[in-house]
A and B are shown apart, each in its own frame.
Chain A
């Protein structure tokens, strides 16, 4: 089995998948961090100060001003205001300048769309590329059962996802150290906010260290990526071309991003996988897209989808005729 997995890794390395992904990450990271530097500069220019308290207070006031015309966003904004106020009251900077804060923000913003996209680059043609190259005929006529062949591919997928997340982490660390410096590790992060309707429950709020928070966030990002990877993997088996699989998965992800913003009245949408990808939001304490959704609920829904697509994948792959 180890040999089969290494076979798959050889092919991924041979196709330069990890190099391509690293380049994409670096390109995007540079843009992100540059934008962040610019933003910091413009805030300094506007407020004439770099004191985070002043900036945060200004943000609170800005949000308060938006409240009256916020419409359906009202609850979200109210929660955000209360959360920011809590940070202020406890003298904790939610955006302590430096590498860890940037990493936190980057992984949180990327977990729902950008990271899954990177994963799709690998997952979506694990099987369909073998088919389009014709090599599947060689692969399936070895004295190895189809189940083991697919299992080796899936394990290779999990390993690649882990590696991509690691690349993502290390690259964002390196670039943010260059751009912002390596300070800010000692600053604590406030976490444990939970929302009940439009009220913010602060009973479980506690302080954690930056690295603990980052490891946990990356763990969640990893899980999201594994789920998206498993679904893409299934599409890779069901669909003949990688492009079709990629398109379908992309449509789902984008639909998820849109739906998350507008499904608050469609209750059963919470069983769709794409609405549940915002695991990070539970940790940072913003209101879920549909009332009643919790971290545990979302994890369970995602795990169910993952299990379902694995069953479909293995059933189809071991039975399908190859022409």
Chain B
């Protein structure tokens, strides 16, 4: 009595109904009752096609690498990328910076398989680390003592060495640029004392890095020496966009020099 179309639709709907009941039952069985079956073996991971003439940049480190304080959210890493692109270099840019990261944190991050893979493919590695070790979120500012600073320094240098070893274990050729520390508190009460500490820290870091010819220590101390407040974000700790620009210009200039050899 009903039209063929309706009968067909009804029959088909009944079939789909059975299908979904089956799907639901299967889901309930799998997730509620549990299953041991592993349906398929993992597929063979195909290697990505090697990018031709592409400079791969991996940025590691703390909030400076992340770009905290930059209104545009790029940070020095982003600006470096922009500058290189402007010059016509084909780049890929991976930013692995994590806010508040300390050198033990970075050393731990280096152990991750995927991070290792990323570093392995990199031509250029950018890094800021140590700021959080030294300033401990501003705590050092109120209590500067020779002994405590030396303790922090020693621990940092050991971690840095471990980090470099990790990098070199997966990538022997990439140039590593480590940006040095600046003193955001130079205009504060005991700014002069802190400046001395920062200079010492940078010196020891540079000395340590010198063991590896493929690393470049990029000082930033001098950039923020005068008119520090013009280049700092409102938190008086992170650089603002102008500060990041200055840092980026310096590093970018160094990379173009190296970039050709890739």
Q: Which chain A residue shows the least CB distance to B63?
A: A65
Question: B117 near A: Cβ within 8 Å?
Answer: yes
Question: B32 near A: Cβ within 8 Å?
Answer: yes
Q: Is the CB of B118 within 8 A of A162?
A: no
A204: which of B7, B34, B115 is its contact (CB, 8 Å)? B34
The 4 A-B pairs of least Cβ separation, nearest first, read A219-B23, A48-B92, A219-B24, A222-B20
Binds B, one of A25-33, A51-59, A311-319: A51-59
Q: What are the residues of chain B within 8 A of A296 when measuring CB–CB?
A: 32
A61: which of B19, B90, B96 is its contact (CB, 8 Å)? B96
Interchain residue pairs with CB less than 8 A apart (10) = A10-B6, A48-B93, A51-B48, A166-B13, A166-B19, A207-B39, A212-B39, A218-B23, A283-B31, A295-B28
User: A65 vs B99: C-alpha distance in the bound complex, in angstroms?
Assistant: 6
Question: B151 near A: Cβ within 8 Å?
Answer: no
Q: Is the CB of B114 within 8 A of A53?
A: yes
Q: Is the CB of B54 within 8 A of A283?
A: no
Q: Is the CB of B6 within 8 A of A215?
A: no
Q: Is the CB of B2 within 8 A of A186?
A: no
Q: Is the CB of B7 within 8 A of A6?
A: yes
Q: Is the CB of B31 within 8 A of A282?
A: yes
Q: What are the residues of chain B within 8 A of A48 when measuring CB–CB?
A: 54, 90-93
User: A90 vs B42: C-alpha distance in the bound complex, in angstroms?
Assistant: 8
Q: What are the residues of chain A within 8 A of B38 when measuring CB–CB?
A: 206-207
Q: Is the CB of A57 within 8 A of B115?
A: yes
Question: B17 near A: Cβ within 8 Å?
Answer: yes
User: A215 vs B31: C-alpha distance in the bound complex, in angstroms?
Assistant: 14
Q: Which chain A residue shows the least CB distance to B31?
A: A295
Q: Is the CB of B12 within 8 A of A163?
A: yes
Q: What are the residues of chain A within 8 A of B14 when measuring CB–CB?
A: 159, 162
User: A206 vs B31: C-alpha distance in the bound complex, in angstroms?
Assistant: 11
Q: Which chain B residue shows the least CB distance to A5?
A: B10
Q: What are the residues of chain A within 8 A of B31 when measuring CB–CB?
A: 192, 282-283, 295
Q: Is the CB of B27 within 8 A of A61?
A: no
Question: If the complex has contacts A6-B10, A215-B23, A220-B27, are A208 and B39 also in contact, measured as CB distance less than 8 A?
Answer: yes
Q: What are the residues of chain A within 8 A of B118 when measuring CB–CB?
A: 53-54, 57
Q: Distance in Å from the Cβ of B237 to the closest Cβ of chain A?
A: 14
Question: A132 near B: Cβ within 8 Å?
Answer: no
Q: Is the CB of A206 within 8 A of B35?
A: yes
A216: which of B2, B23, B56, B115 is its contact (CB, 8 Å)? B23
Question: If the complex has contacts A88-B113, A216-B23, are A3 and B42 also in contact, measured as CB distance less than 8 A?
Answer: no
Q: B residues 109-129 with Cβ under 8 Å of A?
A: 112-115, 117-118
Question: B5 near A: Cβ within 8 Å?
Answer: yes
User: A91 vs B113: C-alpha distance in the bound complex, in angstroms?
Assistant: 10
Q: Interface residue count for A (Cβ, 8 Å)? A: 59
Q: Distance in Å from the Cβ of A103 to the closest Cβ of chain B?
A: 13
Q: Would you give the 0/1 interface string for B37-76, flagging 1 where the beta carbon is closer than 8 Å to chain A?
A: 1111111010010010010100000000010000000000
Q: Distance in Å from the Cβ of B54 to the closest Cβ of chain A?
A: 7
Q: Distance in Å from the Cβ of A153 to the closest Cβ of chain B?
A: 14
Known contacts A61-B98, A158-B17; 5 additional CB pairs below 8 A are: A47-B94, A58-B95, A88-B113, A162-B13, A283-B27
Q: Would you give the 0/1 interface string for A64-102, flagging 1 where the beta carbon is closer than 8 Å to chain B?
A: 110010000000000000000100111110000000000
Q: What are the residues of chain A within 8 A of B100 when measuring CB–CB?
A: 68
Q: What are the residues of chain A within 8 A of B169 when measuring CB–CB?
A: none
Question: B203 near A: Cβ within 8 Å?
Answer: no
A222: which of B1, B24, B39, B45 is its contact (CB, 8 Å)? B24
Question: B257 near A: Cβ within 8 Å?
Answer: no
Q: What are the residues of chain A within 8 A of B56 when measuring CB–CB?
A: 49
User: A65 vs B101: C-alpha distance in the bound complex, in angstroms?
Assistant: 10
Q: Would you give the 0/1 interface string for A8-43, flagging 1 where the beta carbon is closer than 8 Å to chain B?
A: 011001000010000000000000000000000000
Q: What are the residues of chain A within 8 A of B1 when measuring CB–CB?
A: 3
User: A85 vs B115: C-alpha distance in the bound complex, in angstroms?
Assistant: 11
User: A162 vs B48: C-alpha distance in the bound complex, in angstroms?
Assistant: 41
A295: which of B32, B43, B117 is its contact (CB, 8 Å)? B32
Give the interface centre of B1, B9, B26, B97 by most chain A CB atoms within 10 Å. B9
Q: Distance in Å from the Cβ of A6 to the closest Cβ of chain B?
A: 5
Question: A217 near B: Cβ within 8 Å?
Answer: yes
Q: Distance in Å from the Cβ of A155 to the closest Cβ of chain B?
A: 9
User: A158 vs B54: C-alpha distance in the bound complex, in angstroms?
Assistant: 56
Q: What are the residues of chain B within 8 A of A149 when measuring CB–CB?
A: none
A57: which of B23, B32, B45, B94 is its contact (CB, 8 Å)? B94
